[in-house]
Each structure stands twice: as C-alpha cells, then as structure tokens.
Structure 1
Amino acid sequence: MTGTVEHGGALARAIAEYGGEPGDWIDLSTGINPNPVPLPDLPVQFWSRLPDEDLFEQASRAAAIGYGSAENIRPLPVAGTQSVIQLLPQLFDGDIAIFGPTYEEYRSRFQRAGRAVDLVARVEDINDSHRLVILVNPNNPDGRIVPRDEVLRLADRLAEQGGFLVVDEAFADLCPECSVAGDAGRQSNLIVFRSFGKFFGLAGLRLGFVLAAPSICGAIRDGQGPWAVSGPALGIAGSVLPDRQLRNRIEDRIRRRHAALHGVLEEADLTIAGGTPLFMLVDDDRATALHSHLCRYRILTRKFHYEPHWLRIGLCRDRDEEARLREALAAFNGPGGE
C-alpha cells in the first residue's frame, strides 16, 4: 500500500501553511488553462434530470469530431480520466510497464492493487513479458514526446505478444502531430485517454474521454456504472468540442501566455528543462527554497518529492499575474534572497 500521491492544486494546504485567503493566491501548480472557455447556456433539464442516452451520445459525437477518432469509434465520456486510471488494475492482467517519471497515479493505483510495476525510460526497455504499457504523451511533467510513428510501432509490437498500450494524451490538444487518437480502435489494443478540462480550463467538470475498441469502452463503462458523467458536463462538451474556431482562439491565447511565462522565467535566469504549452518545468538546485519563497508571495507552484530540483510552473492568467511572478522571482534572486 502506498501513501497519498501529491498533486498540484492543493491551495487549501498552502493557505494553511503560509496564510492568506484564496483570492490572494495565484495557483500555478496545475497544467490547466487559466482562462476558462465561456460556458454555453444550458437547458435547465441538463441540471434537473439524470443524463439520458441521447445526451451521452451527443457528447460522444462531439468528441469524435474534436479528437478526430476513427469512423467506427465513439469516444466514451468518463468522469475525468482519473476515474479510469483507478479501474486499470481490474481490467488488465499481467506485467505492467510505465514510461516515467510521469503522473504518479498510474503507478500508485497498480501498487495499491498489489501489482508490480516497471518504470521504463525508452521504448527499447519494453520486454516480451509486458501485457500493459502506459505512456503519457506529451509527458507530465517534463513534456517528453514519443513520436507518433514510434507509438504505433510499439502498439503493433504489443499486439503480437497479447499486450495493450494506454496513451494518455491529456496535454495533446496543442500537439496534434503526436496524437494517435485517430488510430485507437483501428488497432484493437490501443487505448487513448483525452482530458477535456485542461485545454478548456474547466477541470472542475471532471470530464474526459476514452478512445478504444468497443469491447474496452464497454468494460470501462460497466466499471464506472450508470450516470457517471453529469448532464452539464456532457452538454458543455457537446457544445464546445466541435467548435474549431473556438479551439483556435483558445490555442492562440495559451501560446501567448506560454511565451510570456517563458520570458519571465528566462529573465529570472531559471533553467527550463521541459514542459508543454500549458506548463514549464524548471530544473534548479534551489527548487525547494524557491517553492517556499513563492508561497510567501502567495504564488503556488508544484514541487516533486522524487525530483527535488524540479519545479513545475503553470501559465499565468494575464499580465498582472506575470508581473507578480516576475517581482517574486526578482526578490528571490536579489539581495537578501535565497
């Protein structure tokens, strides 16, 4: 049995330690778009009734358009991809390999189930005994990308040995060239997870999608039970996912905020070790001290117990937040700082 996995977004814990009110803080500890998409108007029955099959299918069709799934594959709406991660030990037998370091919940859930996990760094590290391989692509937190053709070759290889490949594309909305969402189902052992909340800035909806062969989606749906996804979440997905112009506007704003954050970190002479358009990973021997310093300025970042020299920093909402971060970093580097 392992302990609780540390995540970003633990603002209440930071307030308990460093003080202040929620409104005083800038939370840069998550890889979530800080500028949420405007919410569409929803009929009152989306809130007042249990979500029916038509609403579920509408969201599925919208995801098929938004993620470019294969023609015969209907993406399965789920209550956030975390809800599916918890089911994986029940759905798959055999040896497990996870490309790491990565999102810790994968390893934690298998270990809680008493399953051994091999952490691997390269495709070449996968061996003939592995029956389930998990790849976060682009990776969290270092942004490592395994090229699409290499991912598909790995899926082919695993199919020959009776294995499955899960590709978590939570951060792939801004990296379409690396996505294999359109190949899920064509290769029956390829399973793709997509996150709705990160790109659209609506993580509180707890909504994701699984793209996989119907038999796999059916097993996941059975494992989640009826009405696992709320009516409002399904309705919002059905409205925004097919809107290409909206997605283009979101992408443009994310890339502008990413460029601005890059400039702030470079100005502070911090080493950027990786990341995605939604966050950057700083590598610095002073990372733990920097995390505490920023907390005293009411700015929350993400530290890592397994790599104490890493600090993940998400996007600021606007120029005012970037100015606060710049000022705090200047104080850290200036006289009297760390």
Structure 2
Amino acid sequence: MLEHGGRLARAARRYGVPVEAWLDLSTGISPFAWPVTSMPAAAWHRLPEEDDGLADAARAYYGSAHLLPVAGSQAAIAALPRLRAPSRVAVIAPGYAEHAHAWRQAGHAVTTLPWADLRERAGEFDVVVLIRPNNPTGEWLGTSDILACHDTVGAHPGATGARAAPAREQDNPWLIVDEAFIDTRPDDSVTPHARDGLIVLRSVGKFFGLAGARAGFVAAAPPILDALAEMLGPWTLSGPTRHVVTRALNDRVWQASARECLRHAATRLATLLGRHGLTPDGGSDFFQYVRRHDAAVLADRLARHAILVRAFDDPSALRFGLPGDDAAFARLDRALAEVTR
C-alpha cells in the first residue's frame, strides 16, 4: 500500500507521544467538520435504501443528473481501471499517487507527466487522469483547458486521427478529473459537464470533514456508472453514512460558512509559513505546499514537536493541512520558529 497522511497512531508509536497530544496537519481534510448529531435507529438496523433522499441531495449539490455514490473517491480510483481493457494511460504528476498505482495494478501502461506536457500529448493516450486543484501542489487547471483536453484524448496522431467506436462504451477514450478539493469553488467544477468519456470524482470527506464516513460520488455517462455499480455491488454506503451525507449536502448555510472559514485559514497558513522562510510554492483552500530539499528532515523535526505534516520525495516537498483554531496556529508558529532556526 502507498503512503498517505493521517497515520497518527503510527507516528505516536514512532515518536513516543500519545495520539491525543498531536496536531495532525498531514491530510488536507477540513478541520471545520459538519456537525454530526443524532442518528435515527433505523439507519443502523435496516439495510440502506436508495430512495432515502441522498440521490436528490447529491444531484442538487453537484449539479449533475448522473451520479453514483461510492465509498469515498478512493473506491472509484481503484475500480475504474478494472472496467477497461489494457490501455495507454497518462496521469498528471506530481499528483495523488493512488491514481497511477491503481492503473498499473490493473495492467495498464501508465505514463506520468506534468500538465504542460500532458496537455500537448493527450491524444497519444486512451485515458488521461487530472486533479484540480492538484493534490499536493494545488495547481489549478482551467475549465476550458480541461474540456479541450477531453476533446483531444484518444485522437492518436499518426493513426486514424479520430476516435474509433469500440464495442463497449467503457473502452472509449476517458478523461478522469479528480475534484476532491474543489468544494470551496463549486461554480468552477466540471461535474456538471460530465458526459461520454468525461468522468468526475468528488469527495465528501475533504470539505465536510467527514473522512471517516468514506463517502464520495462519481459523475459520468450512465453506461459507465452502470458498469461501475455492477462491479462495486450493492450498499456501497452504509445507512448511517447515507443519512449524514444527505443532511450535509442539504445544509447550504453551513456550506457557505465553511467555505469562508477554509479560505481564511488557508490565507493565514500561507502567511505564517512565509514568516518562517517557507513561502508556499502552491496550495489550495485545504492545504499549502512547500518545496524543500530537506523536506523529510523538517517533517521529522516537526514530529518531535508532535506536529504531523506530509513529506514527499519527488519532488522533495511538504504539505501542511490547516490548523483548526488559534491555539493550533500558535502551536505551529512556535514549532516552526524552533525547527527552522
């Protein structure tokens, strides 16, 4: 399995610090979680039912008529490669490593490319995977660029110069766009544009702070969603998860407040990092990204202050999630003053 943020218990064992004493900034999950309160007993006792209001709430929130609930966007990342025959796949890099890993595990030929190269070479591939905003760099890809890329995927210069018509819908060229961190910019999402060959992944865990619920959605043409649903089987979301996610998706007042909190905290974090010589090289409303040749060393030093951040090797960089309150910001400020001296 690949490395991910959030492995707090492992860090606690390694550094000998109790879990409750840590400040976990390693995941990019919003610290301003939607408040889960009471849960009807039926959500625990009955099998989940599809006509419980979740589909309507999701269609209204995401602006797409064709959606499939999945156990976090990770479930779709792992399953989509298994729907296709062996294909030529391009994945944006640097980026969320599970994408390239899943396609390789399923036997596809995978090339990782920065956006500038991928955009020019999209026609060489059967599948292109993009992330916006990118994780971990925060790089932003414009909607017009994404839609233009969708029109180019699978053109295969030097061959027919046009898309063939395969026997199965799922063997047409695909553009997959992972929008796990886009919820603070809902009007910029390409989810409403999902159609033949354009597949969009959405996460509930990041913006709503409900990572433990393991919920997400896939927007795509119905044949793709049907094939994915057949592969994943029934009851992809538990009854309690469906209940909580329905309420969260319908809570427009909380959503507006959360977006403002996230934007403010992201700006505050960027300013704080800059004061310590760690001016971000990128970021989003959920995290800040800093390239450092000594990223692993700095992450270790912060861990000795019981602050967990995510370190990357290629390129060497750190990703800082958002502190959730004044005390957390002050704690990070003090630790950085020591570890960057």
Aligned-partner residue type, residue 25 of structure 1: W
Q: Distance in 2 between matches of 1:129 and 1:264?
A: 43
Paired residues of 1:80 and 1:209 also in contact (CA < 8 A): yes
TM-score (norm 1): 0.92
Deviations 1:51-92 (A, max 9, x none): 01212xx212111111111xxx23211001111111122112
1:100 aligns with 2:93: yes
- Structure 1 window deviating more from structure 2 (234-243 vs 117-126): it is 117-126
Which residue in 2 is equivalent to 1:244? 252
Please list, as runs of the form range in 1=range in 2, the aligned pairs for 1:28-177 lying within 5 A after superposition.
28-55=25-52, 58-69=53-64, 73-93=65-85, 94-121=87-114, 122=116, 123-158=118-153, 161=163, 162-177=172-187
Compare 289-298 and 119-128 and name the one that shifted more.
Answer: 119-128
272-281 vs 168-177, greater mean Cα deviation: 168-177
For residues 10-30 of structure 1, what are the alpha-carbon distances to aligned partners after superposition, in whole Å with 9 as ceiling and x for unaligned? Answer: 112211211111110000000
Amino acid in structure 2 at the alignment position of 1:293: R
Post-superposition CA distance 1:65-121 (Å, at most 9, x none): 11111xxx2321100111111112211232111111110011111222232201122
Q: Which stretch shifts more, 122-131 or 208-217?
A: 122-131
- The residue aligned with 1:302 is 310
SS of equivalent residue, structure 1 residue 86 = helix
Q: Is the 8 A contact 2:177 2:201 kept in 1?
A: yes
Map Cα deviations across residues 135-193 of structure 1 (whole Å, 9 max, x no partner). Answer: 111100001111001111111223753411111100111123431111113xx111111
Does structure 2 conserve the Cα–Cα contact (< 8 Å) formed by 1:146 and 1:178? no
Q: Say whether 1:182 aligns with 2:182.
A: no
Q: Return the letter of the residue paired with 2:71.
A: A
- Alignment pair present for 1:234 and 2:242: yes
| Structure-1 separation of matches of 2:120 and 2:47 | 46
SS at match of 2:153: helix
Query: 1:202: how far off?
Result: 0.7
- Quick one: percent identity of the two aligned structures? 40
CA drift of 1:313 comes to 0.4
Q: Is the 8 A contact 2:131 2:179 kept in 1?
A: yes
Letter of the 1:48 counterpart: H
Which residues of structure 2 form unaligned runs of 5+? 155-161, 164-171
Instruction: Give the equivalent residue in structure 2 for 1:327.
Output: 334
The 2-side partners of 1:247 and 1:222 are apart by: 32
The aligned counterpart of 1:225 is 233
1:280 aligned residue: 288
| 1:256 alignment partner in structure 2 | 264
| CA distance in structure 1 between the partners assigned to 2:137 and 2:233 by the alignment | 34
Q: May I ask how many residue pairs the two structures share in their alignment?
A: 323
CA distance in 1, matches of 2:281, 2:47: 46
1:259 is aligned with what amino acid? T
Contact 1:85 1:109 (8 Å CA) reproduced: yes
List per-residue Cα deviations over 1:264-318 (Å, max 9, x = no partner). 111112131101110000112232221011000000000113222x000000010
Q: Which amino acid letter does the alignment assign opposite residue 227 of structure 2? A: A
Root mean square deviation of aligned Cα: 1.5
Q: Deviations over 1:196-241 (max 9, x none)?
A: 0100001000000011111111111111111111111111121121
CA contact (8 A) 1:78 1:229 kept: yes
Shift of the 294–11 alpha-carbon distance from structure 1 to 2, 3 Å rule, reads same
Q: Return the alpha-carbon distance in structure 2 between the equivalents of residues 273 and 177 of structure 1.
A: 25
